[in-house]
Structure 1
Amino acid sequence: MLNFERPSCLALMIGVLGLLNPATVDGQDALERLTEGNLKRTREFIERNRAMRTEVPQRGPLKTARANLHVHSELSHDSRGKIEAIVAAAKRAKSQVLMFTEHPSKEKDFYLDGHQGIIDEVLCIPGAEMKGMLVYPTLSLAPFAAAEPKEIASIVRSRGGHVFLSHLEERMDWQFAGITGTEIYNTHADFKKQMGLVQAMKNPLWFVRIASLLEKYPQEVYSALQSYPGDYLRRYDQLCQIHPHTGVAANDAHENVGIQIRMGDTDSSIVVTDALGDQIVKLPRLGIEKLLSIPPNAATGDVLLKVQLDPYENSLRHAGTFLLVETLTQPAVWDALDRGRSFVAFDWIADAQGFSLAAVQQVETQSKRHEIGSQLSLTDGPIRLEGLSPLPATWKLFRNGETVETWTGSDCRFDIRQPGVYRVELWLDGWEDPQIWILTSPIYIE
């Protein structure tokens, strides 16, 4: 969640004048991408990928289900999201599974009161963001609210639930035995890296300047914050060499970043509130008229402008966790998470459905297919990693965190000659720099 500082009226008026000239905002990181030209080129990159994409036949008996983890609703204090709207946004983002992570409270039990079961064809699973983890239990955790993180993790896992380390940037030294895995990407962690963008957003009137771009390029504006999660992946590679970890993306979806500008209780005042409805500041009408056209008949409370940077649809589409499942049921999702059958895709760039990676092992006269997450031994026969993609890409094979081979094309074949922890990244040629697209959980070779 973004917490605005509440600047003085004078500071805001200076900000208003500065916002009339975008060049006064120091261009850094994601801010440099938030121009008409850059956003247009990003849109063309997306459209090019869509035109080049080919349908890929399913390999093996398992289906691919797109999931979003780390999702908040009105059950969390920092969100107002209604379940019907979140499910509708998930369907537009082509997600089939929503794994919620509410902030625990005394008023609501996130498990007993949480969103659960199939809702309008989307599988909903209740959970919480607590103690530095994403927890998906099989029972209420209210009696254990005071427990330490390791104890919570043990309770959840011993009863058949799942636990993922969250916000790894804040706890790189954490290592728990027996947990399901960890986030390998977190949208909020990515946002915190964008220092120029963070600074600009402290002035709520920055949203006024971005409003027209956001209306024209909503996904491109949201996804401008994306960067390669190198710090997360380095730690992930270390953890996977200790014991298997399932990698997931954290959308950290709240729909709580934005502003509303309303007419105040007098003809000469304007009220600015955040996306949750809390007042940030009251401004004189004279200053805001330089930015907004105010209808002559505007009455107290009328909304003059609403800018929402993080609608659920954009947040959920930005990154997805793809799970290899037998059916769209919670037991099947649980099994995929247990076995590490997952990959993360930034499929705002391109639809990743159809991507596959497996270890094919020759055992005597038969070839056996082992999906992502599998553990197998070289002593049983030669092993080759085989991958297929709906778009031509640069494939990078990592062994124990180090790049060992690269391949370019829509398919790949890597012969495995040494034991190790193997994962794959796919990169697409962007309009400016190569763009990370897919990150897989590992295959473990003994």
Structure 2
Amino acid sequence: MFALSYYHVRLALLAIFLFAYPTAPSWADSLSRMQISFLRATRSSINELQDQRQEVPTADREFQDFRAQIHVHTHLSHDSNATIEEILEAAKKCDTQVLLFSDHPAPEYDCFVDGYQGLQDGILMVPGAEQGGFLLFPKCSYRDAAYEGSQGLADLVLKDDGLVFLSHLEERLDWEIRGITGSEIYNTHADVMSERRFMASLRNPLLLMSLLPALQQYPQELFGAILDYPADYLQRWDQLCQTTPHTGVAANDSHHNQAIRAVVDAEGKLVIEDALGKQVATLDPEKIALIKTLTAKRQAGDVVLELDLDPYDRSFRHVSTHLLMRQLNQTEVWDALQSGRAYVGFEWLADPTGFWFEAQQEDQRWQMGSQVPFQSNTMPELQFSAVAPLPCLFKLIRDGQVVAEDRGRRFESEADQPGVYRLEAWLPIAGELKPWILSNPIYVRGR
């Protein structure tokens, strides 16, 4: 149970200071970026970008751009109560076209047989599991199959043309698993967990309540305040891609399980419940003046406060994996993910739809995920080109190192040596540069 102490009073005073501070200081973490003034500046930057956005012509492209959410939990997981109706409604709001589920395995269900799949309301659903350090998207049930170790589990799913991605890379940066499809290169949950002061606030009802004004006025910006460049994920991904292609995807890790609800009980005390209905604290109004004010003239069962941090639409708007496909079906999803024809976009900053990154040489063109032969002393040279719907800072990265930068809607550069080349796009938001797009690589291989 929660009991007020001098420590908690100090935390509450800290919250007042944080949300009154006029600008994010140089040491800003997510809690600092949740100040009202900083969130207001963030929204202003985003609105300015929306005014600048221009659709990218796509008539000459073989592939269309489809928005996907990967690593999504449903009520089948022990840590979510979400119905499929709630998730589909959120997907519609966010123009999501593909949902790849990743429920935690349990004895009472089969993630493939019982998982949601097929096309419904224009949204393609793919069943899957988060298990053993992977995101697994099987083509058939594997629940009763025997396997040994992490490699054995990956091989079990891969042998029937399933997809396997490393998940929660922060916990397994040294893993070497053969033959897998790819890896998460961003994980929302990992990003949140890295914010120590914010995580401390989630364990303190008083400090958490101080977020309410910001949440009411700037819900998406507050969620986006957690965003940090996933340097450790990308460094490891760059290393993995040196030996064999790994498709990079964003993990929404959506649960809708970060919320609190304050209800008056039969004794007049304020009971704090989490999103799953678990009682996490009881506050006595006779001991806390603020709580006494909140519960005055309230009846048993009255809801005094609801604070919902992670509904599915907010999670889906935060980040997506864009798949380049010819049409919307599972075969095309598999082809795009196995081929690396995908990019990650932080949607809450701006819609990246239309982004394109390719290599060109004479009349040949290669999309993301392609393996391109490198021949020295040949003319014309291999060229990279990219286009985005907004002016941004492009960073061309070869083997984990930035080798070229430029600003604008278009980017061009040459490949003067073999390497694994990928592109990042960054946007200016409230005085900070934020990562907006992370492309999959083009693999330029020497002979």
TM band (smaller chain): over 0.9
| 1:103 Cα deviation after fit | 0.5
Does the 8 Å contact 2:52/2:390 carry over to 1? yes
* Aligned residue in 2 for 1:372: 368
Does the 8 Å contact 2:388/2:409 carry over to 1? yes
Aligned partners of 1:426 and 1:240: how far apart in 2? 20
Q: Secondary structure at the residue paired with 1:86?
A: helix
What is the 5 A alignment of 1:179-218?
179-218=180-219
| 1:206 Cα deviation after fit | 2.3
Letter in 1 for 2:284: P
Does the 8 Å contact 2:285/2:295 carry over to 1? no
Q: Secondary structure at the residue paired with 1:338?
A: helix
Aligned partners of 1:20 and 1:270: how far apart in 2? 21
Aligned partners of 2:333 and 2:371: how far apart in 1? 19
| 1:321 Cα deviation after fit | 0.4
- Relative to structure 1, the CA distance from residue 264 to residue 354 in structure 2 (aligned partners, 3 Å threshold; closer, same or farther) is same
Does the 8 Å contact 1:28/1:197 carry over to 2? no
* Residue 241 (structure 1) aligned with residue 233 (structure 2): no
* Aligned residue in 1 for 2:23: none
* Aligned residue in 2 for 1:3: none
- Relative to structure 1, the CA distance from residue 266 to residue 320 in structure 2 (aligned partners, 3 Å threshold; closer, same or farther) is same
What is the 5 A alignment of 1:6-405?
8-11=2-5, 15=8, 18-19=11-12, 22-23=15-16, 29-58=29-58, 59-144=60-145, 147-267=148-268, 269-287=269-287, 290=290, 294=294, 298-362=298-362, 367-379=363-375, 382-405=381-404
- Relative to structure 1, the CA distance from residue 62 to residue 202 in structure 2 (aligned partners, 3 Å threshold; closer, same or farther) is same
Aligned partners of 1:223 and 1:442: how far apart in 2? 26
Does the 8 Å contact 1:144/1:152 carry over to 2? no
Letter in 1 for 2:373: S
Aligned partners of 1:16 and 1:126: how far apart in 2? 46
| 1:22 Cα deviation after fit | 2.2
* Aligned residue in 2 for 1:408: 407
| 1:293 Cα deviation after fit | 5.5
Aligned partners of 2:28 and 2:428: how far apart in 1? 22
Aligned partners of 1:389 and 1:287: how far apart in 2? 57
Does the 8 Å contact 1:200/1:206 carry over to 2? yes
Does the 8 Å contact 2:248/2:340 carry over to 1? yes
**So what's the TM-score if we normalise by structure 1?**
0.93
| 1:426 Cα deviation after fit | 0.5
| 1:181 Cα deviation after fit | 0.3
**CA-to-aligned-CA distance 1:112-132 (integer Å, 9 cap, x gap):** 111101122111111010000
**CA-to-aligned-CA distance 1:203-230 (integer Å, 9 cap, x gap):** 1232211112101100011110000011
Letter in 2 for 1:19: A
| 1:24 Cα deviation after fit | 6.2
* Aligned residue in 1 for 2:24: none
| 1:382 Cα deviation after fit | 3.2
| 1:335 Cα deviation after fit | 0.3
Aligned partners of 1:197 and 1:189: how far apart in 2? 13
Does the 8 Å contact 1:270/1:288 carry over to 2? no
**CA-to-aligned-CA distance 1:6-64 (integer Å, 9 cap, x gap):** 5x4234x8636742662467996111111110000000011011001001111521001
Q: Secondary structure at the residue paired with 2:227?
A: coil
| 1:265 Cα deviation after fit | 1.6
* Aligned residue in 1 for 2:426: 427
Q: Secondary structure at the residue paired with 1:252?
A: coil
- Relative to structure 1, the CA distance from residue 384 to residue 272 in structure 2 (aligned partners, 3 Å threshold; closer, same or farther) is same
| 1:433 Cα deviation after fit | 1.6
**CA-to-aligned-CA distance 1:200-258 (integer Å, 9 cap, x gap):** 22112322111121011000111100000111111000000010000000111111012
Q: Secondary structure at the residue paired with 1:69?
A: strand
**So what's the TM-score if we normalise by structure 2?**
0.93
- Relative to structure 1, the CA distance from residue 113 to residue 36 in structure 2 (aligned partners, 3 Å threshold; closer, same or farther) is same
- Relative to structure 1, the CA distance from residue 145 to residue 352 in structure 2 (aligned partners, 3 Å threshold; closer, same or farther) is farther
Aligned partners of 2:94 and 2:148: how far apart in 1? 36
Does the 8 Å contact 1:251/1:319 carry over to 2? yes
Does the 8 Å contact 1:345/1:439 carry over to 2? yes
Does the 8 Å contact 1:126/1:136 carry over to 2? yes
Letter in 1 for 2:345: A
**CA-to-aligned-CA distance 1:176-218 (integer Å, 9 cap, x gap):** 1110000000111111221111112211232211112101100
Letter in 1 for 2:430: W
Q: Secondary structure at the residue paired with 1:407?
A: strand
Percent same amino acid at aligned positions? 41
> C-alpha root-mean-square deviation of aligned residues, in Å?
2.0
| 1:73 Cα deviation after fit | 0.8
Aligned length: 434
Does the 8 Å contact 1:428/1:436 carry over to 2? yes
- Relative to structure 1, the CA distance from residue 176 to residue 315 in structure 2 (aligned partners, 3 Å threshold; closer, same or farther) is same
Does the 8 Å contact 1:15/1:205 carry over to 2? yes
Shifted more, 405-414 versus 147-156: the winner is: 147-156
Structure 1, gaps ≥5 residues long: 1-5
Does the 8 Å contact 2:134/2:165 carry over to 1? yes
- Relative to structure 1, the CA distance from residue 162 to residue 256 in structure 2 (aligned partners, 3 Å threshold; closer, same or farther) is same
Aligned partners of 1:250 and 1:18: how far apart in 2? 32
Structure 2, gaps ≥5 residues long: 20-26
Aligned partners of 1:105 and 1:74: how far apart in 2? 12
Aligned partners of 2:397 and 2:308: how far apart in 1? 38
Q: Secondary structure at the residue paired with 1:386?
A: strand
Q: Secondary structure at the residue paired with 2:252?
A: strand
Does the 8 Å contact 1:294/1:304 carry over to 2? yes
Q: Secondary structure at the residue paired with 2:66?
A: strand
| 1:301 Cα deviation after fit | 2.1
Does the 8 Å contact 2:164/2:180 carry over to 1? yes
**CA-to-aligned-CA distance 1:144-195 (integer Å, 9 cap, x gap):** 3764221111111110110000111110000111100000001111112211
Aligned partners of 2:28 and 2:435: how far apart in 1? 20
